[in-house]
Amino acid sequence: MRIKVENLAKKFQDQTILRNVNLDFNGGHIYGIVGRNGSGKSVFMKLLCGFYKPTEGTILYDSVDINSNNVFPPSTRALIEKPTFLPELSGFENLKLLASIQNKIDDEKIIETMRKLNLYDERNKKYSKYSLGTKQKLGIVQVLMENPEVMIFDEPMNGIENETVKIIRDILITEKGKGKLIIVASHIKEDIDNLADEVFEVDNGYINKRK
């Protein structure tokens, strides 16, 4: 998978959030996105997912313009900002509901992914009773469980205990080795240092490779 961003700009009314962004992301790599709060990191990730349409420019997934074709990016899963699930359902029930949309995986695969992230013991607890870190882990399971080609994470380690953070980092490095394209925005220096092959900084609307 290759994502090519060409001359991308995003405005909300008279406020310019991103301007003239030109980037290439390729499978088999982990890319780090850094920048101060409010710099536009989350907006950029939502553009990559098709949640926002660019004011200018194009986003190509393997040469397909996702906006002109009005399609959700192929084989892409994302965790952006705070994860949100149905509060009255358990963690497992929420994941099962999401998996039923495409019917690509069975219950066993969901449980297997929950085990990997130390979430198995919380599988039957209502989402409304989850802690911040447990909610984050459920959001990461949602990204991983269907084995997508593109994984996009916005501050994924927020509130997660150190033991599971190491597990998640190891999983992402393993997925990179399988040719997956992974993008991680994080304010945690260790996340970027341990994971990213290339780091891009968002500043004053521009996104440039960090030297």
Structural domain of residue 44, as residue ranges?
1-75+181-211
Instruction: Tell me, yes or no, whether 142 lies in a domain.
Output: no
Tokens coding 46? 């939502």
Quick one: pLDDT band at residue 173, thresholds 50, 70, 90? very high
Average pLDDT, integer, range 12-39: 95
Measured CA to CA in angstroms, residue 11 lies from 20, 58, 105, 210 at distances of 12, 14, 38, 24
With 90 as the cut, is the pLDDT of residue 71 above it? no
Residue 186 contacts residue 32 (beta carbons within 8 Å): yes
Quick one: pLDDT band at residue 38, thresholds 50, 70, 90? confident
Residue 119 contacts residue 138 (beta carbons within 8 Å): yes
Tokens coding 6? 């060409």
Instruction: Tell me, yes or no, whether 186 lies in a domain.
Output: yes
pLDDT tens digits, 78-87: 999 888 899 9
- What is the structure's pLDDT at 83? 84
Instruction: Tell me, yes or no, whether 26 lies in a domain.
Output: yes
Residue 38 contacts residue 187 (beta carbons within 8 Å): no
Quick one: pLDDT band at residue 185, thresholds 50, 70, 90? very high
Average pLDDT, integer, range 171-178: 98
Quick one: pLDDT band at residue 40, thresholds 50, 70, 90? very high
Q: Which of 79-83, 166-170, 181-185 has the lowest mean pLDDT?
A: 79-83
Rounded percentage of the chain residues whose pLDDT exceeds 70: 100
Average pLDDT, integer, range 124-132: 97
CATH number for the domain spanning 197: value is 3.40.50.300
pTM: 0.95
- Residue 86 CA neighbour count, 13 Å, CB half: 10
Tokens coding 59? 């986003």
Mean of all residue pLDDT scores within the chain: 95
Average pLDDT, integer, range 157-171: 95
Instruction: Tell me, yes or no, whether 25 lies in a domain.
Output: yes
Domain count, the chain: 1
With 80 as the cut, is the pLDDT of residue 211 above it? no
Average pLDDT, integer, range 179-201: 95
Instruction: Tell me, yes or no, whether 153 lies in a domain.
Output: no
**What is the rounded CA–CA span in Å between residue 75 and residue 124?**
28
With 80 as the cut, is the pLDDT of residue 70 above it? no
Quick one: pLDDT band at residue 117, thresholds 50, 70, 90? very high
Residue 210 contacts residue 178 (beta carbons within 8 Å): no
Instruction: Tell me, yes or no, whether 171 lies in a domain.
Output: no
Residue 128 phi/psi, 5° resolution? Answer: -65, -20
Instruction: Tell me, yes or no, whether 96 lies in a domain.
Output: no
Instruction: Tell me, yes or no, whether 114 lies in a domain.
Output: no
**What is the rounded CA–CA span in Å between residue 60 and residue 150?**
13
